């Protein structure tokens, strides 16, 4: 996890959050995840099917699964939501 944060921090020193957004959006195009960038906070959303009988008639619910904050080459995972496995997968998708 710390190694992934360090790698992403080095990557962001040469780029910006909008560039990170573009890179990840292209990499995640067919994965079912959506990204949203507000200021310096990048949020990754996934879709979750509701439980019970209601799931048959309703659309899946959009749920935040990961949030990153990056400024001045420093990256941190925000406390909620926090998905360490997804974060490591996202970092591996970035070009060095």
Q: What is the DSSP letter of 44?
A: E
Q: Would you place residue 36 in the very low, low, confident or very high pLDDT band (cuts 50, 70, 90)?
A: very high
Could you tell me if residue 39 is left (phi over 0), alpha (psi between -120 and 50 degrees) or otherwise beta?
left
| Residues 6-32: tens digit of each pLDDT | 777 777 777 788 888 888 888 888 888
Reported pTM:
0.77
Which domain range does residue 64 map to? 2-93
| Residues 46-59: tens digit of each pLDDT | 887 776 665 566 77
Peptide bond just before 96 cis, omega within 30 deg: no
User: Count of domains in the chain?
Assistant: 1
Could you tell me if residue 9 is left (phi over 0), alpha (psi between -120 and 50 degrees) or otherwise beta?
alpha
Q: What percent of the chain has pLDDT over 90?
A: 7
């Amino acid at each position: 996890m710390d190694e992934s944060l360090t790698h992403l921090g080095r990557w962001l020193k040469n780029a910006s959050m909008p560039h990170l957004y573009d890179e990840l959006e292209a990499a995640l195009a067919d994965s079912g995840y959506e990204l949203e960038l507000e200021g310096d906070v990048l949020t990754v959303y996934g879709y979750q099917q509701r439980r019970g009988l209601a799931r048959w008639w309703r659309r899946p619910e959009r749920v935040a699964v990961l949030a990153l904050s990056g400024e001045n080459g420093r990256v941190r995972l925000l406390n909620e939501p926090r998905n360490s496995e997804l974060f490591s997968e996202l970092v591996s998708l970035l070009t060095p």
